[in-house]
Amino acid sequence: MEQARKGYCFTAIVGQDDMKTALILNVINPNLGGVLIRGEKGTAKSTAVRALAELLPERVQVADCRFGCAPNDKAHMCGECLEKLTNHKTLEQSLAKMKVVDLPVSATEDRVVGTLDMEHAIKTGEKKFETGILAGANRNILYVDEVNLLDDHVVDVLLDSAAMGVNTVEREGVSYTHPARFILVGTMNPEEGDLRPQLIDRFALSVTVIGERDAEKRVLVMENRLKYEDEPEKFFEDFEPMQQALRDRIKTAEGLLGQVTYSSRILEKIAKICIALDVDGHRADIVMLKTAMTLAAYSGRTEVTEEDVMEAAKLTLPHRMRRNPFEDAVLDLSQIEGI
């Protein structure tokens, strides 16, 4: 049987820097809240998401856990793993790579959240839970292509789980809760319709991608792709140094994130920017601060700078700014310079 081809190299993707940065920031800080990628077809949206999962090293998980719990993270374990620990049982460990879990546009709510077997519960008094897509997405990337075409109720469920880090299913007085901490990545083509503003706001970051307009970069896109298809071994060999350098940088940033600090001046700048741009609510302020902190860690620093705030504004504010229907979400940085 022919061996499955490895995924594309993340560092071989030409251009699309904002998209790549937004994805990396969510890996460094899974609590950010995901990213919405808008753009035309053929702009490497899906390729980038899958290549990011391929880039990341294997991580430890509980071997027989259907939610892939982290063995040393008691605060976010499922009930089964916690029960084993309570009974002083050993949690066997295994290594596994982060994976991309696809959520199809046609998915029903039951398929997403899972189902409770009520007949079993009535007969035995025990809960029997059939896992859904959110169970498999725990500690992984949940990828929703054409998220704007999903049923609004399913989108609500997704965003609630992404915000809370858990999925709760309730049926006739019986409930079951399991961890659902995932990186939510939604992609869409704005020409096919938009998300409701209150749903767009729930995505932490948003980027717009277009095809490269520079001839040299388009040539490089073709060369990289053909090398990947025709000479895969050489392709991976050529890009491995860059892949490893990025892995190391992400790992360093994860270690630094908890040490990042910010001044009152930074908080004031974020607040003034959100006021100047007439952004609704306070979610934008909080997400911008988290993003700026993650950017600082990604840059190898432990203090947020004003440059981090401006970079964070580009990723967190365009989709939250008030605009007319069918109007593109564009942030003009000159509007907030000097604040």
Domain that holds residue 320: 264-337
pLDDT computed for residue 330 by the predictor: 61
Q: Is 283 one of the annotated active-site residues of the chain?
A: yes
- Structural domain contains residue 124: yes
Which residues make beta-bridge pairs with 143?
102, 185
SS3 44: coil
Same domain, 111 and 199: yes
- Structural domain contains residue 280: yes
Same domain, 194 and 45: yes
- Structural domain contains residue 246: no
Helices 283-298, 264-276: crossing angle, 10 deg rounding: 130
- Structural domain contains residue 175: yes
pLDDT computed for residue 1 by the predictor: 36
pLDDT computed for residue 3 by the predictor: 43
- Structural domain contains residue 121: yes
pLDDT computed for residue 323 by the predictor: 59
Give pairs for 258-263: CB < 8 Å, separation 24+.
259/302, 260/293, 260/294, 260/296, 260/297, 260/301, 260/302, 260/303, 260/304, 261/302, 261/303, 261/304, 262/289, 262/292, 262/293, 262/303, 262/304, 263/303, 263/304
Question: Which residues in the chain land under pLDDT 70?
Answer: 1-5, 118, 120-126, 198, 322-335, 338
Same domain, 169 and 50: yes
Record the tokens describing residue 197, joined without a space: 């503003």
pLDDT computed for residue 130 by the predictor: 85
Helix (H) or strand (E) holding 187: strand 183-188
pLDDT computed for residue 10 by the predictor: 93
Q: Which CATH number belongs to the domain containing residue 309 in this structure?
A: 1.10.8.80
pLDDT tens sequence across 8-39: 899 999 888 999 999 999 999 988 888 999 88
Q: What is the 3-state secondary structure (H, E, C) of 226-261?
A: HHHHHCHHHHHHHHHHHHHHHHHHHHHHHHHHCCCE
Domain count, the chain: 2
- Structural domain contains residue 136: yes
Instruction: Give which of 50, 64, 216 is closest to 142, Cα–Cα.
Output: 50
Same domain, 190 and 268: no
- Structural domain contains residue 247: no
Instruction: Give which of 38, 16, 43 is closest to 147, Cα–Cα.
Output: 38
Record the tokens describing residue 116, joined without a space: 């409770």
**Alpha carbons 112 and 157: distance in angstroms, whole number:** 9
| Residue 225 near residue 13, CB atoms below 8 Å | no
pLDDT tens sequence across 298-339: 999 999 999 999 999 999 998 887 655 545 556 666 667 767
- Structural domain contains residue 227: no
Record the tokens describing residue 11, joined without a space: 């560092």
Domain boundary residue, one of 192, 209, 226 = 209
**Alpha carbons 27 and 141: distance in angstroms, whole number:** 9
Given the residues 196, 283, 320, 322, the one annotated as active site: 283
